[in-house]
Homo-oligomer: A and B are copies of this chain.
C-alpha cells in the first residue's frame, strides 16, 4: 500500500537525484533515501558515471541500521554488473525489507529484473510512487533508452514578433543577460549542444558552459570542477569549417558532422559521417548516431534553418523560447524557416508547459503536442 509517507520520502529521493544533473550524463539521475522508524538513516545520489550508485551511498550511511528498513529509490535498482556491482544485491545483503521505486528502468539489462530479484528475496517492492516526477528528471536517458533517439530541446531567443535579428544581422542582444545566464544552466545539463557551421562562424561562438555566467544559485552548490563541458556537435555539410574557429580551442569535445570523410585535425575533435543518400544531413540519422554515442539529450542553439528543419521533421521534444518585450518589425529575421508549410491546419503544434519571468524577459516552455 502506498502512503503519504511513501510520497514524502520519495520526494526527498527525487530532490537528491536532481543534485547529480550536471554530472551524471550519460547515466540517469538517481536518488535514494533509507528510512527506519520514521527517520531518514541513509541518503545518496548518483554523481557520475563509473562512481557508486545512489543506493550504495545511502547504504553506507545507514550501516547496520539498514536491517529491516525501507529504501526509496527514484529508479529501479540495477540487477547487472556494469561498472559497479548490482544494487539489488546490495539492498538484499543489507537486510532492507521494503523497497519503494518510482519507476522501472527501461535499460534492457535491468527492465524489471532488479525488482524481480528483490521480490524473489522476499522483499516487499512497490513501484510507481511519484512516477511523473521521476520521468521528468531523466527525460534524456529515458527517451534514448526507449527509442534510441535523444531528447531534443530547441532553444530560441526572440522578440515578441518572432524575430531573432535585425535585417543587418545585428542580434546582440535581444534578450537580457539574465536570460543568457539561464541558458548556461541548460547547456550544463545537456549531453551535447547541437549547432551549425553558420552559427559557429557568424558569432565565432565557443558554445561552452561559462561557469561565471551560471546563475548564482547553481554556483553556490556546484564548484567549477563539477560542471562538465557538453560535447559540441556542429553540422557542417559543406565542409566549410577550417579548424581555426574558436570552438576548436575550448575545453571539451567537438564533433563535426559531414557527409564525407574529411576530418579536422584538432585535439578533442571527432568526425561524424552521416552517409545517408540525401545531399543534406539526415537529422534522424544524426540523432540516432548521437544516441549510439551516449548522447541522451541534445540542446539546440542554432539559426532559423536548423530550427525549422527539426520542427518540420517533428524532432523537437521541448521548445524553450525566451521572449524579450520588444518588437523588431517585418524587416527583421525570422525565428524559423518552414519551407513546406502551406496550410494553417498543418502548422506544427505544441502545448504550453510553463511560463516564467527571467529578468525582463519571459521564458516559455512548450512540449510537442
Residues of A within 8 A of B (CB): 158-163, 166-168, 170-172, 174, 304, 308, 311, 319, 321, 323, 325-332, 334-339, 341-344, 347-352, 355, 357, 360, 362, 364, 366, 369
> Which 9 pairs, one residue from A and one from B, show the smallest C-beta to C-beta distance?
A162-B162, A329-B338, A161-B162, A330-B334, A161-B335, A326-B347, A325-B350, A330-B337, A329-B341
Do residues B366 and A364 form an inter-chain contact, with CB atoms below 8 A?
no
Do residues A344 and B162 form an inter-chain contact, with CB atoms below 8 A?
no
- Cα separation A308 to B332 with both chains bound (whole Å): 13
**In the complex, chain B residues whose CB is within 8 Å of the CB of A369:** 325
- Cα separation A33 to B65 with both chains bound (whole Å): 66
Given contacts A158-B162, A343-B170, A344-B171, contact A327 B336 (CB under 8 A): yes
- Cα separation A355 to B321 with both chains bound (whole Å): 15
- Cα separation A343 to B360 with both chains bound (whole Å): 20
Copies in the complex: 2
Query: How far is the CB of A125 from the nearest CB of chain B, in Å?
Result: 39
Given contacts A334-B161, A352-B362, A362-B364, contact A328 B347 (CB under 8 A): yes
Do residues B325 and A329 form an inter-chain contact, with CB atoms below 8 A?
no
- Cα separation A348 to B174 with both chains bound (whole Å): 12
Do residues B321 and A329 form an inter-chain contact, with CB atoms below 8 A?
no
- 11 residue pairs A–B, Cβ–Cβ below 8 Å: A159-B162, A160-B350, A166-B342, A323-B364, A325-B349, A327-B338, A329-B338, A330-B338, A330-B339, A351-B360, A362-B364
- Cα separation A341 to B159 with both chains bound (whole Å): 14
**In the complex, chain B residues whose CB is within 8 Å of the CB of A323:** 364
A308 nearest CB neighbor, chain B only: B329
> Which of A162, A172, A174, A323 has the most CB atoms of chain B within a 10 A radius of its CB?
A162
Given contacts A331-B338, A336-B161, A338-B331, contact A174 B357 (CB under 8 A): no
A335 nearest CB neighbor, chain B only: B161
Query: How far is the CB of A210 from the nearest CB of chain B, in Å?
Result: 23
- Cα separation A172 to B329 with both chains bound (whole Å): 23
Query: How far is the CB of A61 from the nearest CB of chain B, in Å?
Result: 43
- Cα separation A319 to B347 with both chains bound (whole Å): 25
Partner of A339, one of B304, B331, B352: B331
Do residues B341 and A326 form an inter-chain contact, with CB atoms below 8 A?
no
Partner of A162, one of B160, B168, B360: B160
- Cα separation A334 to B366 with both chains bound (whole Å): 22
- Cα separation A364 to B158 with both chains bound (whole Å): 15
